[in-house]
């Protein structure tokens, strides 16, 4: 059994202000995030994308197995293929797979099968979940790990002033095929990254957030 080795934790991030001030400032940045479907073609550097993925890869993961791959696409030919694949699945989704209830829930967002933004956004980050390690070993809590890493990627993009969309065309198999990924990598999410277009609009519905009390409970009374 490999013996654990401990090293001092000497580079803790110091915000230089109180936790209240730092938490508030970051919370206010994140609260301005919106899912964007109208992107500008303004370029975003490869270096920026690398830093976003670095932020994602700093996430905790089950037994530190890091069961993720972030495939970053800027090539117009690949983006066109991805748009074609996504629109084919989404056409089926809106025509029949979704069903009435789901379509009613989506109505306030104004989405449809047209995914022009997949060709306009300068980058598409395709997140893959590894269901085993590259060496064939086990991974743990992969769903949670990839979810946390992706959340951190979204936060990092927001912090950088960039817009994102968590797009989940379903099924997503076509992404693995177009990008030539091996079978142990399962496409998990498709995230366009870029700047919003000058005339970008977001649905009013998306601005509504439930009151904090819906989501936050302090010290619940133990059941008597
Ligand atoms: N994947 C489809 C439908 C869709 C589903 C949910 I749940 C959303 O929150 C938004 C859209 C699409 O991208 O249009």
Q: Which of 106, 117, 169 maximizes ligand 1 atoms within 8 Å of its Cβ, making it the mutation to test the pocket?
A: 106
Q: Kindly provide the b/e burial profile for residues 85-105, where b requires at least 16 CB atoms within 10 angstroms of the residue's own CB.
A: bbbebbeebbeeebeeeeeee
Q: Whose CA is nearest to atom 8 of ligand 1?
A: 106
Give a yes or no: residue 157 inside a domain. Answer: yes
What is the CA(35)–ligand 1 centre distance, in A?
11
Residue numbers of the domain that contains 70: 34-196
Give a yes or no: residue 170 inside a domain. Answer: yes
- Ligand 1: does its nearest atom lie under 6 Å from the Cβ of 168? yes
What is the CA(208)–ligand 1 centre distance, in A?
17
Torsion sign over Cα 197, 126, 114, 156? negative
Predicted TM-score (pTM) of the model is 0.97
Rounded CA gap, 124 and 178, in Å?
13
What is the CA(167)–ligand 1 centre distance, in A?
7
Q: How many domains is the chain built from? A: 1
Q: Which of 105, 109, 202 maximizes ligand 1 atoms within 8 Å of its Cβ, making it the mutation to test the pocket?
A: 109
Q: Which of 83, 93, 166, 192 maximizes ligand 1 atoms within 8 Å of its Cβ, making it the mutation to test the pocket?
A: 93
CA–CA distance from 86 to each of 67, 189, 203 (Å)?
24, 12, 22
Atom number, ligand 1, closest to the C-alpha of residue 169: 1
- Ligand 1: does its nearest atom lie under 6 Å from the Cβ of 206? no
CA–CA distance from 97 to each of 31, 90, 101 (Å)?
32, 9, 11
Give a yes or no: residue 80 inside a domain. Answer: yes
pLDDT tens by residue, the chain, 224 residues: 999 999 999 999 999 999 999 999 999 999 999 999 999 999 999 999 999 999 999 999 999 999 999 999 999 999 999 999 999 999 999 999 998 899 999 999 999 999 999 999 999 999 999 999 999 999 999 999 999 999 999 999 999 999 999 999 989 999 999 999 999 999 999 999 999 999 999 999 888 999 999 999 999 999 98
Atom number, ligand 1, closest to the C-alpha of residue 109: 10
- Ligand 1: does its nearest atom lie under 6 Å from the Cβ of 107? no
CA–CA distance from 33 to each of 12, 58, 151, 154 (Å)?
27, 21, 12, 9
pLDDT at 100: 87
- Ligand 1: does its nearest atom lie under 6 Å from the Cβ of 109? yes
What is the CA(112)–ligand 1 centre distance, in A?
8
Give a yes or no: residue 205 inside a domain. Answer: no
pLDDT digits (tens, 9 = 90+) for 53-90: 999 999 999 999 999 999 999 999 999 999 999 999 99
Q: Whose CA is nearest to atom 1 of ligand 1?
A: 169
pLDDT digits (tens, 9 = 90+) for 111-125: 999 999 999 999 999
Give a yes or no: residue 114 inside a domain. Answer: yes
Give a yes or no: residue 142 inside a domain. Answer: yes
Q: Which residues contact 106 (CB under 8 A, 6 or more apart)?
A: 98
CATH number of the domain bearing residue 120: 3.40.109.10
Give a yes or no: residue 94 inside a domain. Answer: yes
Give a yes or no: residue 5 inside a domain. Answer: no
């Amino acid at each position: 059994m490999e013996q654990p080795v401990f090293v001092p934790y000497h580079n803790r991030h110091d915000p230089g202000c109180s936790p209240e001030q730092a938490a508030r400032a970051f919370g206010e940045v994140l609260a301005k995030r919106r899912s964007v479907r109208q992107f500008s073609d303004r370029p975003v550097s490869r270096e920026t994308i690398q830093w976003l993925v670095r932020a994602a890869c700093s996430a905790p993961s089950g037994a530190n197995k890091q069961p993720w791959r972030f495939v970053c696409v800027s090539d117009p030919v690949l983006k066109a293929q991805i748009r074609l694949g996504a629109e084919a699945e989404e056409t089926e989704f809106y025509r029949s797979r979704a069903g009435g209830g789901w379509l009613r829930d989506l109505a306030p967002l104004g989405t449809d099968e047209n995914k022009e933004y997949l060709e306009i956004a300068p980058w598409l980050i395709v997140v893959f979940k590894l269901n085993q390690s590259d060496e064939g070993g086990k991974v743990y809590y992969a769903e949670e790990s990839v979810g946390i890493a992706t959340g951190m990627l979204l936060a990092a993009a927001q912090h950088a002033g960039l817009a994102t969309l968590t797009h989940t065309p379903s099924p997503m198999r076509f992404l693995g095929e177009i990008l030539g990924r091996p079978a142990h990598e399962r496409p998990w999410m498709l995230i366009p990254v870029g700047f919003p277009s000058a005339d970008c609009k977001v649905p009013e519905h998306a601005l509504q957030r439930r009151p904090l009390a819906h989501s936050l409970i302090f010290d619940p009374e133990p059941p008597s």
